[in-house]
Amino acid sequence: MSKKISIIIAVLIAVIGGSFFAWRSQNARANSEKIEAATLKELTATDVQKVLESEAKIDRLAVEAIVKTAETRKAFLSGINEYLAIAAQARREGFAENPDFKINVEYKRNMLLADLYRAKLSEGQTKSYIVAETDVKSVLDNAENQKQFGIETETMRKIQKAVAAGRGKESTIPPLEGARLAQAQQNWAKIKFLSERAKADADFMSQEYVRLRLKIVEAGILSNDYLQANYPKNIKPTNDDIKSYLSAHPEFDLNKKREKAESVLQRVKNGEDFAKLATEFSEDRQTKEKGGLYENVEKDFLWIEIEKTALSLDKNQVADKLIETNTGFHIVKLENKQTKKDRDGREITIFSVRHILFQYAFEEPEDNKIGVPPPFMKAEEIAHAQIEKEKRNRFVSAVVAQNPVKLPNDFEVNLPKTANGVNPPNESPKL
């Protein structure tokens, strides 16, 4: 399974489970529909089918990626199993009684209801249902709505700060003011209007897929809260963890990478084809498949160290030592250079240069590198990510083992037909 598909699966599970933080807000009124206390511990194949078919009316392409193969369907079920199991543990430990959780869950439930009801109102239409400006204004003119908007946005900010603090970071979300505040209020009003219409539609609220999705949203938020609360003690990598990892993985030693660069430079000096070596070894993805070539560039286009070195060489000459930049170690060869006049009659230097780059960073290890190439990261960042992944998996596995969930081995989904195979019309207000 490609990394791209893995990301889509993770995103859709998060959307269905309500664990995304987004500056889309709606009312969490005190007299709203009571959250069901029972934890969802079982989903049938029919349940899963209903959930995904409802999501396909909002984002068909993502659901297509989920149901594409047995492997992607299995990955989706695994994610749902994790959500439901952790949610059961969180409820037992009292997380559902947290006031911020209650605001957050109503926030996400109303967001979901708005999306689902918009999809219902858009069925059979060529365009998505759009909330009228007069309806938006009527929502925002209500003083109680304005008060609730403030409560919810501050609660979401509080949650964001707590998540960041648990990871040893500061929240970078700016305050809502000016144009951002106005847009957030507009989006909130649309969701408020649609979610209220949904709740007033008894037939819609009685649909099994609506009930299932509301409960899955609750489970997703409980799961997310539980993992965040346990992150500092059970998941966060320690300094000793990182030191041990790097000690056990010499492939992330910069000295080793420099030695490799020196050995490739020697092969160039021994007469091996520069372009072939660049294609094999260079970590510059922009030029790797072109034999490391930057062709007909002007001054100030490349790293200043590379430019200075290249322009000091003769045609087809290779620099006799590694050139260091803020990116890494470079082996440099000048292909050609010439001086010509620009449109204003000024003389400029144009040159073509090949290089083989060995970055100060390393490719993040991946179980499967099909699709999106893994990013280059510093050794310490790789160690942190890998340890975090391992500790999270170990922690989650223990929780899942204590909270069995019954799910089908596989499922089928009948996707709605749409014109040209694209997503159905959907106005999903986002900030």
Lowest mean pLDDT of 29-38, 102-111, 259-268, name the range: 29-38
Regarding whether 163 and 64 lie in a shared domain, the answer is yes
Does this model's pTM top 0.85? My answer is: no
User: What was the pLDDT predicted at 425?
Assistant: 54
> pLDDT above 70 covers what percent of the chain?
86
Residue 347 lies in a domain: yes
Q: Let me know how many helices (H) and strands (E) the chain has, helices first.
A: 15, 6
The whole-angstrom separation of Cα 44 and Cα 52 is 13
Residue 306 lies in a domain: yes
Per-residue model confidence as pLDDT tens digits over 303-318: 999 999 999 999 999 9
Q: Which amino acid is at 60?
A: R
User: What was the pLDDT predicted at 10?
Assistant: 58
Regarding whether 130 and 74 lie in a shared domain, the answer is yes
Q: Which two tokens stand for residue 141?
A: 């003119």
- Residue 69 burial (CB count, 10 A): 12
Confidence of residue 409 (pLDDT cuts 50, 70, 90): very high
Higher pLDDT, 342 or 141: 141
The secondary structure of residue 42, as a DSSP letter, is B
Per-residue model confidence as pLDDT tens digits over 179-206: 999 999 999 999 999 999 999 999 999 9
User: What was the pLDDT predicted at 344?
Assistant: 81
Residue 245 lies in a domain: no
* Residue 69 clears pLDDT 70, i.e. is over it: yes
Residue 426 lies in a domain: no
User: What was the pLDDT predicted at 30?
Assistant: 32
What residue has token string 């490799």?
Answer: 260
- In three-state secondary structure terms, 331 is strand
- Domain with 318 in it: what CATH number? 3.10.50
The secondary structure of residue 345, as a DSSP letter, is S
Higher pLDDT, 167 or 348: 348
Regarding whether 298 and 402 lie in a shared domain, the answer is no
User: What was the pLDDT predicted at 417?
Assistant: 66
Regarding whether 257 and 210 lie in a shared domain, the answer is no
Confidence of residue 1 (pLDDT cuts 50, 70, 90): low
- Mean pLDDT over the full length of the chain: 87
Residue 321 lies in a domain: yes
- Distance between alpha carbon 357 and the CA centroid of its chain, in Å? 28
Mean pLDDT value across residues 320-332: 97
Per-residue model confidence as pLDDT tens digits over 270-289: 999 999 999 999 999 999 99
The number of folded domains in the chain is 2
Higher pLDDT, 199 or 12: 199
Regarding whether 372 and 388 lie in a shared domain, the answer is no
Residue 431 lies in a domain: no
Structural domain containing residue 351? 250-377
* Residue 418 clears pLDDT 80, i.e. is over it: no
* Residue 37 clears pLDDT 60, i.e. is over it: no
Regarding whether 228 and 269 lie in a shared domain, the answer is no
User: What was the pLDDT predicted at 32?
Assistant: 33
Regarding whether 143 and 35 lie in a shared domain, the answer is yes
Residue 429 lies in a domain: no
Q: Which of 360, 377, 394 is the last residue of a domain?
A: 377
The whole-angstrom separation of Cα 127 and Cα 115 is 15
The whole-angstrom separation of Cα 212 and Cα 166 is 31
Regarding whether 257 and 202 lie in a shared domain, the answer is no
Confidence of residue 429 (pLDDT cuts 50, 70, 90): very low
The whole-angstrom separation of Cα 385 and Cα 326 is 23
Regarding whether 399 and 364 lie in a shared domain, the answer is no
Residue 53 lies in a domain: yes
Regarding whether 346 and 285 lie in a shared domain, the answer is yes
Regarding whether 276 and 196 lie in a shared domain, the answer is no
Q: Which two tokens stand for residue 93?
A: 């430990």
Lowest mean pLDDT of 5-14, 23-32, 319-328, name the range: 23-32
Regarding whether 183 and 39 lie in a shared domain, the answer is yes
